[in-house]
Structure 1
Amino acid sequence: MTSATIESTQLEQVVAAVRLAGARQAAAFTAMGAAPSDWEEIRAALTRNDQLAEDILRPRLQALRPQADWAGEFETGLLGDGEWWVADTADGNINAVHGLPEWTVAVSLVRDDTALLTVVHAPLSGDTYTALRGGGAFRNGLPIHASRKTDLAMAIAATAQAAPGHTERSDDEGRSIAAMYRKALVVRSGVPSTQHLARLSAGQLDVYWLHGQDRAATVAGALLVAEAGGVVTDISGRAWTPASGTFLAAAPGVHAAAVTALTNH
């Protein structure tokens, strides 16, 4: 096995590590008492949950590919040359620490700013989404595909929410949500982004867009969606990279209409 090769056995090892991290978080979730009530408690709970996963993932992944660097969850922009593990140790962490079930553990292996492998695991549902570049997308080992919809009026769309204090991004999101309300069948807003994108890759959602950057989530989701036959660009329809300021993933039959809806409002 060469350092440049991604084997299916390596994917299996990543899946095992991600599932173990998710199981540790799920155990903490089940044992959780009252939800945090102020910012200090929220921040402490978020940190604990992230650390549970990182303590499992980081040593295992770095042992698997020692040449790969580790990219922080909240870093943005291009990674640069070489290999990188990009992990979102608890995407939707704010949900988990409030007793809500929607969160994921996501890991991608990136080489020269191109994702080669991704695993997204939802600990409570047990669903695991995987993709190898050029090898298709899978949920629990079975192939998945983007939806066949061709009418945006029949589409389920989703977006994320800016962190508090990101006023400009919040304003952009508000305008785009209003625009999509007028065009789509259903619009969802919230986290985790990786769960929205995993569901899009499985044909359960049809459009996902984002203002701003969320590298760990979009790198993972972009590979899943592309391998499932979906289309990934920025909101204006240009080629997307981790340095792009916006993100759009959609089923191929509604992508063009989504671009129009999100840019002409």
Structure 2
Amino acid sequence: MSSPSPALAYRLEAARAVVHDASRLAMSMRPPPGGPVATQKSAQDWLTETDGAVEAFIASRMKTLFPEDGFQGEEGGVARSGQLRWVVDPIDGTSNYARGRSRWCVSLGLLDGDEPVAGVIEAPALNEVYTALRGAGAFLNGKPIHASPVKDPASAMIEMGWSNRVPKPVFMEKIDAIMKLGAMPRSGGSGALALADVACGRLDGYIEIVINLWDVAAALPLLAEAGARVSPFLRDGGLTGAATILAANPHIAETLSQAVNIPLA
């Protein structure tokens, strides 16, 4: 394992503090349990007041701390360009957040050019913080994490994200392939947390046919450092638009990849 860059290590620590404060802001604005407190961008695609507030908070803090770094947000797009670029999803799992549920997170990743190098994912309602830095490992609440050791697909748990941008037959085809392997399908409503679950072994795989950079930027370093296998999301268009992602533990990755016809890197 190569030694991490001191500059990147410093940025990760700063990002962890900023995300923690942003998570506290999100918790203070969290709706009570019930019907969604949000506006609907499209079918099952929600936007809350908190999304904008948290993104603006993080954007302001990161500009002050690292004015030379680029910044990209889900709501605001690319605000600044730079070799190092922060990518934020202010609330990943907005449909859960809008109903007062707990499975949502604040996600902040760092890219060096087109390479994911660091990430912070905080799920404050779950009291969990994931961090990763290239060459320094992946962690959950400060403890090292690794991809699952499960080798038998019939013992595996696979999550697949749903999107209204995916035709129903395509979605059903992939779900059917997962079930034919004997794996247990799941859907939790947060792509970033699903990928983090693959990194820490709670899931054996995750698939999303259409997903964006801000959903995965912080999780990609987690997956790499935890030993998971991942499809070439960035190479396949994820840097500039939506793309498909598959992440899995290394023991079932090839089998799952072939079953759902999504190539690995």
Q: Compute the TM-score of the two structures, normalised by the length of structure 1.
A: 0.84
Tell me the equivalent position of 1:73: 74
CA contact (8 A) 1:161 1:190 kept: no
Distance in 2 between the 1:80 and 1:250 partners?
32
Tell me the equivalent position of 1:202: 200
Instruction: Verify: 1:29 aligned to 2:30, yes or no.
Output: yes
Tell me the equivalent position of 1:227: 225
Tell me the equivalent position of 2:185: 187
What amino acid does structure 2 have at the position aligned with 1:188? Answer: R
CA contact (8 A) 1:84 1:109 kept: yes
Q: How many residue pairs end up in the alignment?
A: 253
TM-superposed deviation, 1:32: 7.1
TM-superposed deviation, 1:35: 3.5
Q: Compute the TM-score of the two structures, normalised by the length of structure 2.
A: 0.84
TM-superposed deviation, 1:52: 2.5
Q: What is the correspondence of 1:38-187 to structure 2 with a 5 Å cutoff?
A: 39=40, 46-73=47-74, 82-163=83-164, 166-168=165-167, 170-187=168-185
Q: Give the match's secondary structure for 2:175.
A: helix
1:33–1:84: structure 2 CA closer, same or farther, 3 Å change rule? same
TM-superposed deviation, 1:248: 0.9
Distance in 2 between the 1:32 and 1:157 partners?
27
Structure 1, unmatched stretches of 5+, are none
Q: Which residue of 219, 242, 245 maps to 2:243?
A: 245
CA contact (8 A) 2:40 2:47 kept: no
TM-superposed deviation, 1:210: 1.4
Distance in 2 between the 1:36 and 1:28 partners?
11
Q: Give the match's secondary structure for 1:99.
A: coil
1:218–1:171: structure 2 CA closer, same or farther, 3 Å change rule? farther
CA contact (8 A) 2:109 2:219 kept: no
Q: Deviations over 1:54-79 (max 9, x none)?
A: 13211111222211122131699xx9
Higher mean displacement: 46-55 or 191-200: 46-55
CA contact (8 A) 1:234 1:245 kept: no
Distance in 2 between the 1:37 and 1:112 partners?
34
Structure 2, unmatched stretches of 5+, are none
1:10–1:81: structure 2 CA closer, same or farther, 3 Å change rule? closer
1:8–1:217: structure 2 CA closer, same or farther, 3 Å change rule? same
Q: Give the match's secondary structure for 1:210.
A: strand
CA contact (8 A) 1:219 1:242 kept: no
Q: Give the match's secondary structure for 2:135.
A: coil
Identity of aligned residues (%): 29
What amino acid does structure 2 have at the position aligned with 1:205? Answer: L
Coordinate RMSD, CA, aligned = 3.0
CA contact (8 A) 2:120 2:132 kept: yes
Q: Give the match's secondary structure for 2:238.
A: coil
CA contact (8 A) 1:156 1:184 kept: no
Distance in 2 between the 1:37 and 1:259 partners?
36
Q: Give the match's secondary structure for 1:29.
A: coil
Q: Deviations over 1:132-178 (max 9, x none)?
A: 01111001111100011111111110111113xx253x432221011
CA contact (8 A) 1:240 1:247 kept: no
Q: Give the match's secondary structure for 1:24.
A: helix
Displaced runs of 4+ in structure 1, greater than 3 A?
30-40, 238-241
Distance in 1 between the 2:39 and 2:86 partners?
33
